[in-house]
Structure 1
Amino acid sequence: MVQTTSYAATGAFSGLVLDYIEQAPALAGFYHRPPTLAAFAEQIAEKKSHYDAASRQRLVAALRAQYESLPPASVPQAVQANLDLLARDTTFTVTTGHQLALFTGPLYFVYKIISAVKLCRELKTTYPDYDFVPVYWLASEDHDFAEINHFQLFGKRYEWQAEQTGGPVGRLPLAGLEAQVLSQLPAEMPASFLAAYREAATLGEATLRLVNALFGELGLVGLDADRPELKQALVPVLEREILHQASNQAVQATNARLEAAGYRPQVYSRPLNLFFLTEEGQRERLEPDAAGADCVQIMLRGTGKCHTQQDLLALARQTPELFSPNVVLRPVYQELLLPNLCYIGGGAEVAYWGQLKEVFALNEVPYPLVLLRNSALYLSRANASKLRKLGLSALDMFKPLPELKKQVGAALGQEEVSLSEAQMQLKAAFDQVAALAQRLDPTLVRTVAAEAQKAAAAVAGLEKRLGKAAEAKHETAYTQLSALKDKLFPDGGLQERTDNVLSVLINNPAFFEQLLAAFEPLALEFTVLEED
């Protein structure tokens, strides 16, 4: 069973995201085209005129080399077919991306990918002369290991403490993962999850193997862009950034406009939006040195190492793989490499892409359509049955718990306890006494007021005790309701931001097929999905 509701009704999305969904005029200047089916016609034409044959050849060659590193039998025919399609100038991509979260991390990792797969199918139906390939961009150069080294499964946290951190996470060897995580997992774990990590040498390879095992049959192509041959495309961007630091100026100007329109910028831009990959395997920020404009300092754990602009330019031209774009320039790198039409991301990504339109213009790269990924609340058969026994629908669960208790109580015939009428009558009586005291002995007015306050407090206390007595008659139902609310909204947030896909997949192997049937990416509605 599938239901939908508005994103606004969930209470879980920012004002900017809600305004973007509604295409509010205040946001029009921060994005290129609205994410509608009709807008793809112009996007196809624009991308086709800017994406040359050399770029396509470089991409396909790198992808083939990447997949040749995997066992041939593990690469589905659907992936091979899409690699062949990408060599044609009539093929375009729909891209989503995410950090290399252990075992895919929260559910929204999966929701991003299913959204991209489903959108490609819809585009093929509408634009049959073209082909569309879903791409998952592996954020292999990210270095925030603490964000990805854990996941939650059946209420238990699994965490990996790697021996080496601070560099690109995609390059991390998997030492310690077997003992700390893999050997601790439940016996019913799908073999594909375990094999992806046990047979890989690095976290990047393991993530590629896992998404290939999970989504390869759907044609998903993974791309790890931490490759020297692909970094060649980044040279003009590196030159512009090192010489002019233009991206920061563009973002700062955009941020001022966003704030003037009442929105808060999502990401922070730096004077130089680049990292440097050191010989020691670290990813360190490049920052202008205070000593002079012609010197750029590489921060290495509190020590300073200086390169002139000319030194950096020479490195950028000869070995661009030593440079890594940050959150401001990474999207530009992505769009340089891919024949991409649309980026699918979560609310935070939709927000920060709105800061980048002028950065794309500076680098003469077409700005893609930006689409909010599908979000969902999933109910197992057991949880759906509990809801019905409580007389609730899935959409009811977005209400606050006190409101839900009242609704359940009403359905169970609980008498509503309210002594507000008694309080009003009590106040009226004491008002009369106070008036009498004012006429006879004004010094007693304060005494009357004190007694009135005590009486009101006593009635309020009785109301509370009577309310608890009424609730006690249906305590079991309220306990079940509270437990269900916590299950579906862990820590008060959306399920998709905490639960791992294995919490569903182990009991429901058809989960991905159900998501594909339920998701309508361009409808821009929140999905509530009950297990078939």
Structure 2
Amino acid sequence: MQKDIFKDYISFSPKIEKLFNFPLQPEWKEVCEKVHNEHRDPAIIEELINHNKSSRSKKVKTNLERLKKGKASIIITGQQLGLFVSPLYTVYKALTAIKLAEQLNTALTDQNFVPVFWLEGEDHDFEEINHFNIQEPKGNIRTYSLHEDENRLPVAKRMLPPQITDLINNLKSDLQQTEFSEHLFDRLTEIYQPGSGWLDSFRQQMQCIFDSLGLLYFNPTSKRIKDLSLPFINKLIDNNESFLTKINEQSEEIRQNGYALQVQLQNDYSYIYLTDNKKGRQPVFRKNNKFYLKDTDDIWSADQLKTTFSRNPAQYSSTVLVRPIWQSWLLPVVSYVAGPSETAYWSQLLPAFKVFGLSMPHLTPRNSITLIENRIKRYLEKYGLSADEIEPDFNRFLKHSIFKQQQFNDLKNSFKEINKQLNLFQTQIDGELNELDPTLKTPFDKTLTSVKSTINNFEKRILKRIDEMNSTMSNHLDIIHKNIWPLGKRQERIFSSVYFMNKYGQEWINSVYKCIDPGKPQHRFLEI
């Protein structure tokens, strides 16, 4: 059985430390010192400030002042731009970054820490972000989605389609109307207009949620950032073979230590993408010191590919294994807030950072939370269950919960025993009456038959009630399971934040933020 990198990382396993640059609980001053000893273009911090200067939030302005002072350390996270800020763990990643920056600013008053959300708009996999899910009152999962198309445009180049208006209207009519609904849907209608940019709409909704907490945003797809990234792009091309060799070597060590690889490397893959408006986002392959696009005549030497990007750096697009290094090349990242899969593939990158003269930052596991609403809390209490004992597999969960019906099974058996004893009693008395006075046997049998009929009728009423209660229990258990393990996955991976914004307004964000503890990454349940 293969070991789990994330579980070992959050459990402080010493075996895992050699795969990362810093332990889970690092000496933060040491981390900051290593990161700030690396050279970066100050124009990039200026651009980060420009990306956020329009905010009116006092905490955002405070964080911008921290950046202007110089030597600010970045606590960064990021995520694909899921429709309506989905799924929930996008919110938890952002809140973990904000809370960690807050804690470090309090603990290390001679340092400045700023939370930043990396707007991952370069991916072209529209199927991963074009939908979101909510749970209906009866427990079923309902999916809302925008039509997929075949083009490979990065998300940052996508515009919202006309159908976004109908989607918002349908969602509004389907959700329970609350005191927060009017404000929420006014904002969604304002933000998500047909023809608006997908990335910009996502960012605006994030600002509605997090501006009061001071979160900043970084758009790596902006032309200015791509222009400033040209030295990084050139280095990635020049050192492509050594970069991939280091990742392969690290990956082999991970395998030798009994862990599965999160990313299986392809030998002919350069982990560089080239984007144009006609073909969309295309992977660049590498063979015999040449770079090429499949099924085309496009073949470049390293110098020719650098020339291609120098003419238009905006054509460059990063990949899952390059993005973490590019982040640290651009910004003084001291910690990245990562989920389980991210932690696993980051473990493959430690020596690759060194190819670029960079120190791999610390990883902070994002907090993992399941929200327990009042209805689910009532059902759990009714059946004597606790949220942490609910299993992902529904049938196993149902089997383990069925013991609650044992008292009813005993009741069924009691009626069987009563009928059995009555039959034995009738046989015994009939025999004695035959000797005592046979004329008494007939009225006795009629009386006993009447008693049995009365008992049987009452048994039917009881069994019907038991069936009704069992049906109600099964429905409740189904709702519990679909809430805690929707589609067999953690709630945070399936549900959208928009459902909770509609029902609880900003207050649920405040409740989650209070619950967040970057130093305690174990999964927890939060009643809201």
Query: Which of the two has higher C-alpha Rg?
Result: 2
In 2, Cα distance between the equivalents of 1:23 and 1:244? Answer: 34
In 2, Cα distance between the equivalents of 1:499 and 1:214? Answer: 16
Change (3 A) 1:381 1:14: farther
2:130 to 137, 146, 149: 149
The equivalences for 1:64-213 within 5 A come to 64-67=49-52, 72=54, 75-154=56-135, 155-161=141-147, 165-187=151-173, 188=177, 189=181, 190=184, 191-198=186-193, 201-213=196-208
Q: CA deviation at 1:233?
A: 4.5
- Shifted more, 239-248 versus 396-405: the winner is 396-405
In structure 1, the partner of 2:476 is 480
In 2, Cα distance between the equivalents of 1:303 and 1:140? Answer: 26
Change (3 A) 1:477 1:163: closer
**SS at structure 2 position matched to 1:506:** helix
The equivalences for 1:286-297 within 5 A come to 286-289=284-287, 293-297=288-292
Letter in 2 for 1:159: S
In 2, Cα distance between the equivalents of 1:22 and 1:470? Answer: 48
Q: CA deviation at 1:483?
A: 2.5
In structure 2, the partner of 1:387 is 380
In 1, Cα distance between the equivalents of 2:350 and 2:497? Answer: 33
In structure 1, the partner of 2:511 is 514
**1:48 pairs with 2:45:** no
Asked if the contact 2:52–2:216 (Cα under 8 Å) also holds between the matched residues in 1, the reply is no
Letter in 1 for 2:38: H
Aligned residue pairs, count:
456
Where do 5+ consecutive residues of structure 1 fail to align? Answer: 1-12, 419-467
- Shifted more, 313-322 versus 42-51: the winner is 313-322
TM-score normalized with structure 1 length: 0.79
In the TM superposition, what whole-angstrom CA distance separates every residue of 1:378-419 from its partner, at most 9, and x where no partner exists?
Answer: 111121122112222222334841454145346x6764999x
In structure 2, the partner of 1:525 is 522
Q: CA deviation at 1:344?
A: 0.6
Letter in 1 for 2:112: D
In 1, Cα distance between the equivalents of 2:149 and 2:206? Answer: 25
In the TM superposition, what whole-angstrom CA distance separates every residue of 1:436-492 from its partner, at most 9, and x where no partner exists?
Answer: xxxxxxxxxxxxxxxxxxxxxxxxxxxxxxxx9998485032432232112221112
Q: CA deviation at 1:522?
A: 1.0
- Shifted more, 392-401 versus 248-257: the winner is 392-401
- Shifted more, 130-139 versus 270-279: the winner is 270-279
In structure 2, the partner of 1:451 is none
The equivalences for 1:325-404 within 5 A come to 325-398=318-391, 400-402=396-398, 404=400
Asked if the contact 1:414–1:470 (Cα under 8 Å) also holds between the matched residues in 2, the reply is no
**SS at structure 2 position matched to 1:134:** strand
In the TM superposition, what whole-angstrom CA distance separates every residue of 1:114-161 from its partner, at most 9, and x where no partner exists?
Answer: 111111111112111222211111111111111111111233211112
In 1, Cα distance between the equivalents of 2:412 and 2:39? Answer: 69
Where do 5+ consecutive residues of structure 2 fail to align? Answer: 136-140, 414-462
In 2, Cα distance between the equivalents of 1:23 and 1:339? Answer: 25
In 2, Cα distance between the equivalents of 1:44 and 1:200? Answer: 42
In structure 2, the partner of 1:243 is 238
In the TM superposition, what whole-angstrom CA distance separates every residue of 1:20-58 from its partner, at most 9, and x where no partner exists?
Answer: 11232332221011121x421211111121144xx2x32
Asked if the contact 1:381–1:530 (Cα under 8 Å) also holds between the matched residues in 2, the reply is yes
In structure 2, the partner of 1:298 is 293
In 2, Cα distance between the equivalents of 1:530 and 1:518? Answer: 10
Asked if the contact 1:159–1:180 (Cα under 8 Å) also holds between the matched residues in 2, the reply is no
**1:276 pairs with 2:264:** no
Q: CA deviation at 1:249?
A: 1.1
Identity of aligned residues (%): 23
Change (3 A) 1:85 1:416: farther
Change (3 A) 1:102 1:30: same
**SS at structure 1 position matched to 2:314:** helix
**For the aligned residues, what is the CA RMSD?**
2.7
Q: CA deviation at 1:318?
A: 4.6
In structure 2, the partner of 1:459 is none
Q: CA deviation at 1:515?
A: 0.6
In structure 2, the partner of 1:59 is 44
In the TM superposition, what whole-angstrom CA distance separates every residue of 1:8-30 from its partner, at most 9, and x where no partner exists?
Answer: xxxxx972211111232332221
**SS at structure 2 position matched to 1:284:** strand
Letter in 2 for 1:241: L
- Shifted more, 43-52 versus 347-356: the winner is 43-52
